[in-house]
Chains A and B, each alone.
Chain A
Amino acid sequence: MEGTTLRLVQHHVTAGEFGSATLYRAGTLTVSEADARRALASPALASTRVSWASPGDSARIVKVLDVVQPRTKGVGGRGIFPGILGAATPQGRGETHVLQGVAVVAAGYLPRAQEAVIDMSGPGQPLSPFGATHNLVVEFTPADGASWEAVDAAVRVGVLRLAALLAEAALDARPNEVQTLRGAPFPKASNLPRIGAITNLQTQGTFKDVFVHGKSFGAAPPTLFDPNEVHDGAVVSGQFGHPALKNPTYMHQTHPVVAELRRRDGRDLEFAGLILAPEPVEAEQKERVALQAAELCVAAGFDGAVVTKEGGGNADADISLKIDALADRGIGAVGLFAEMAGAEGTAPSLVVPPERGTALISTGNYDEVVRLPAVERALGGATVDVAGAAATADLELPTAVIYCSLSPLGAGYLTCREVA
């Protein structure tokens, strides 16, 4: 059976600046503010502003919503972010241009969003994966009379459009690297253990939702999904709870677990595929989804699965139930968990632990307090709401507030250790 392939054409960005035209040259991404405004324009938004925040800057981004990596399949997008920018048709084949080292960051007030902070320098910088990227920060002012739902949708679409436009600047540039990625299917080809990924998406209603091909994945059953599709933006985040524990669009595009399984495919494992699963709110539905996901793993011939989540305590159950359901079907599983061990690190780490599995990875303790020294400028808002302080102030915040610091998809380098 001949599978499809996707060529990821990678261009490295080492500096960002503004200029009269949008250009990519010798690692520098120049952005025309007028082009950016056009990409972001919507009847739901009175105005938009873009600013750069780069690693080492004395800058803080607050009220971070989504983060997107610039990618396009050609002029006008050509199918990137299917179901939102392009038609809702399967992607994940052909060629996709990627700007590495740069991110489009939406930041501003939405009513249900929890405060989320990225520091570009100081002790907070290494805690967020986006302390290391050149960030084009998008701020916005809602139009009079626009509903928050319309503002949310406008920001989401605008940021995706801008991300595609930026990548377009590199279409003719010589790439730094080209990766050819195998797509589905993934038939058994060796005696190596067949390992797949189960990626739970926090689909819990407006402002806490994840879109697949442009539609909420909330009512969908667990689905065997071509991983090449996620690289083309088939999964887009609209989930603004638990900033440390969220998976922005960027993390789906670059999917750290899939990247790790691909890296080792044919060496010490065989990549067996990707399953997307919703995270429902009702306990019974969580159980149903766990059982269905386990059956899919059996059908796809998984020997083991890396199970990940998005969100806080109740989402622990979505991993734990799957680990248990997989154990019942004789399939090994590891879960990536963030710990909620209290500020002093002495409380129980998990809300809902598995009953039949102990292979648990820690992405760090949500409650540990970090001190962020004052910065010169802030983007995204004038205050840090959880701290009741100015956005540029010296802050003491739980790690929970630092954007993607406990990346449930495994992008981060934090873990927890007992300190005797």
Chain B
Amino acid sequence: MSRVVHYVNQFFAGLGGENAASTPPGVKPGAVGPGKKLQELLGAGHEIVATVYCGDDLAAVSPEALATVLDLVAQQRPDIVVAGPASTSGRYGVACARVAAGAVRAGVPAIASMHPDNPGLDDAGAAIVVASGASVREMGASLERLAAAARKRLAGEALTEADGRIGKVPRKNVLVDRNAAGRGVDLLLARVGGRDAPAEVPVPKFDHVTPAPPVADLSKAVIALVTESGLVPVGNPDRLESARATRWLRYPIAGKPTAPAGEYASVHGGYSTVWANQDPNRLLPLDVARELEREGAIGTLHGEYLVTTGNGTTVPNARRFGVEWAAELRRAGISAAILTAT
């Protein structure tokens, strides 16, 4: 008998709609709500031993709530975790994706179910996501697909598009018997000879960001300095990474006329920092920003600068930094930022 744990939001746990969106994480024994139909579809040999739930508002934004959900899931010693279907519901989709991703990180197979347009799709990490319908009207078909996927996964079989799999399929390192130089020449000869041979790397498509309109009156603007140059106080007190950064930091510059050598240094591992460390203003243009402030060309300079290391950073982390910076700067009432890149 395989042990299945089902994750749902407050609504499908029967605790209420938007008014209950802050419901803390909890657990109910056995199948609840759509889980009852799911249990039927899973059939004998698979038992939904518990339903773990959390309110959408908490699950999508609170790391603590997510950790509690994952604890509750783990306590059930599941063979598999299924989450959703979340349809096109954004917060619920994000929660399902993160619960599934967390389970996989803990070594438990997991499948989330949501519509291909659900923003949660990007948060599923190495977990499997199968498509659901766009709304609860398609719940029956969505549950059928989720149950079939769960059975297949429990049988150790791979899930593909034919099973309704959507989202990123994790890419894993494997050792092969020809070196990359040999494989490269094979591929090149095929292409030069007009034969269609498969490439080994999918070409990513990046989104294009539309820049914000120019600041109308710079003399009244509050300007922030933001940089991916890895410039930190000497000694790197908060241990910013030199590559593959997972976080960003902030340091006060209020009242400082310049960024002197010996006080700041870059920990960036992606470029030669010799010249930058001789004059850290080359990375963090504090000296000229202060001049502009004195001249009245800009209003005031924000009291701290934000910094990370842009070196081998994954796109999801870089995107997260961008979102967090934007939120942080808006909260602080900043009208524009100068982002120095290296």
Q: Which residues of A contact B (CB under 8 A)?
A: 112, 114, 126, 193, 195, 204-209, 241-242, 256-257, 259-261, 264, 268-269, 281, 303-306, 311-314, 332-334, 336-337, 339-342, 344-350, 353-354, 358-368, 398-400, 407, 409-420
Contacts and interface: CB of A to CB of B under 8 A. Distances in A.
Interface stretch (B51-59, B67-75, B167-175): B167-175
Contacts of B1: none
A313 B181 contact: no
A259 B201 CA distance: 23
B199 A361 contact: yes
Contacts of A264: 185
A261 B192 contact: no
Contacts of A407: 180
B180 A195 contact: no
A346 B129 CA distance: 13
A347 B319 CA distance: 11
B225 to A, nearest CB: 21
B312 A420 contact: no
B204 interface: yes
Nearest to A408: B180
Interface string B166-195: 011111111111111111110111011100
A312 B273 contact: no
A193 B269 contact: no
Interface of B: 101, 124-126, 158-160, 165, 167-185, 187-189, 191-193, 199-204, 206, 242-244, 269-275, 311-317
Nearest to B169: A418
A361 B126 contact: no
Contacts of B242: 114
A137 B168 CA distance: 42
A268 B172 contact: no
Contacts of B270: 241-242, 311-314
A13 B117 CA distance: 59
B56 to A, nearest CB: 24
Contact of A413 (B158, B167, B177, B243): B177
Closest 10 CB pairs of A and B: A205-B272, A410-B181, A348-B204, A345-B171, A346-B168, A410-B180, A360-B201, A334-B188, A420-B158, A256-B181
Most buried by A among B170, B315, B316: B170
A412 B183 CA distance: 11
Question: Which of A193, A269, A340, A415 has the most C-beta atoms of chain B within 10 angstroms of its own C-beta?
Answer: A415
A411 B160 CA distance: 32
B204 A336 contact: no
A311 B271 CA distance: 10
B244 A361 contact: no
Contact of A362 (B168, B178, B201): B201
A362 B200 CA distance: 5
Nearest to B122: A346
A209 B312 CA distance: 19
B145 to A, nearest CB: 16
Interface centre among A193, A264, A334, A409 (most CB of B within 10 A): A334
B187 A359 contact: yes
A193 B193 contact: yes
Given A313-B311, A334-B184, A416 B316 contact: no
B271 A208 contact: yes
Contacts of A412: 179-180
B244 A419 contact: no
B188 A259 contact: no
A260 B185 contact: yes
Contact of A414 (B124, B174, B272, B275): B174
